[in-house]
Amino acid sequence: MTFKKSSYYTTVAKAKDQVPGFREAFSRFEERLVLDQCSKSTFTNYSRNLSHLALHFGRVPHAVTIEEINAYLYRLTVHDNLSVSFFKHTVFALRFWFRLFEMDAQALQLPVIKKAETLPTVLSKEECKAIFAAPRSLKHRFLLAFAYAGGLRMNELRMLKIVDVDLQRKQIHIQQGKGKKDRYVILADLLASRFQKYLEEVKPQVYLFEGQTPGEVMGERSIQYIINEAVKKTGIQKDISMHTLRHSFATHLLEDGVDIYSIQRLLGHSDIRTTIVYLHVAQVIPKVAHSPLDSLYGLKR
């Protein structure tokens, strides 16, 4: 199931106009999402999917039985080619909605979303270098290298301002990353040495990587297009997204001997278990245990 760009507005507006009680209930739902500081994408996905369900049944979501919801999800999954993400967002949105209306029992009866135990796709160091060299544009080359060098998430890269880059301390200030947390990551010497040239040639005004309009952030689709085009030029066959650069950053640090707790801090993971997954993909050569006295005097390395 696919939606056009305007489908969110159309679906929510229709539900408000056509489903009795939905406008008032949705206002309460919207207020709770804002107070919980949910992301814009979460708000959009939850709102669209709940509106879709409300329109299907002609009732507010909390007036729909669990049996009806299960039948609805089954039909969309089996007969209408429902995407996995649509299924998940619908279930998560319904849980949020039921708990908002003090219907915890119904929330617990919704389908369990199983987390797929898959390992991340990781690029070799040579593949990374090939991707960074592929774009003709300095802006695109710098963007890809910057994303990898800091292990940045897509939105962290998009929202990065020029003033967040500290050339003196060789640090990048990530403001309000995932979980509304600030952190600092290392600014690579290579990027620091070419930073002024980038500013002089590309001339960004506010954000380090701006879209067509000066002073405005670059869109996610534009950034994904940049890496897709770069990968095409290299001939690499792996399934690659911007997040692949973040996975590669963490894996390469492990292979370079950086400890897992330092990598956790650089990635901004709140749970070490999220970081530990990279131990399964990193090609780390185990070292034989020895006395530190030997390494102290250069007998062991």
Q: Copy the structure tokens of residue 46.
A: 């939850």
Among candidate residues 95, 139, 153, 247, the one labeled active-site is 153
Residues 28/96, Cβ–Cβ less than 8 Å: no
Tell me the C-alpha distance between 227 and 264, whole Å.
25
Q: Give the count of beta carbons closer than 10 Å to the beta carbon of residue 10.
A: 13
Residues 156/147, Cβ–Cβ less than 8 Å: no
| Residue of 247, 255, 251, 250 lying closest to 285 (CA atoms) | 255
3 state DSSP class of 166: strand
Annotated catalytic residue 246: yes
Annotated catalytic residue 62: no
Residues 69/94, Cβ–Cβ less than 8 Å: yes
Among candidate residues 56, 88, 183, 269, the one labeled active-site is 269
Tell me the C-alpha distance between 111 and 88, whole Å.
9
| Residue of 250, 247, 225 lying closest to 121 (CA atoms) | 247
Among candidate residues 32, 59, 88, 243, the one labeled active-site is 243
Place of tokens 């507010």: 60
Annotated catalytic residue 89: no
Tell me the C-alpha distance between 158 and 217, whole Å.
6
- Sheet of strand 165-166: strand arrangement: 165-166, 171-174, 183-186
DSSP one-letter code for 41: H
Tell me the C-alpha distance between 138 and 58, whole Å.
53
Tell me the C-alpha distance between 250 and 150, whole Å.
10
Among candidate residues 139, 246, 247, 252, the one labeled active-site is 246
Annotated catalytic residue 278: yes
Among candidate residues 62, 178, 183, 194, the one labeled active-site is 178
Among candidate residues 148, 198, 207, 278, the one labeled active-site is 278
Annotated catalytic residue 252: no
Contacting residues for 17 by C-beta, under 8 A, at least 6 apart: 23
Task: Give the active site residues.
Answer: 153, 178, 243, 246, 269, 278
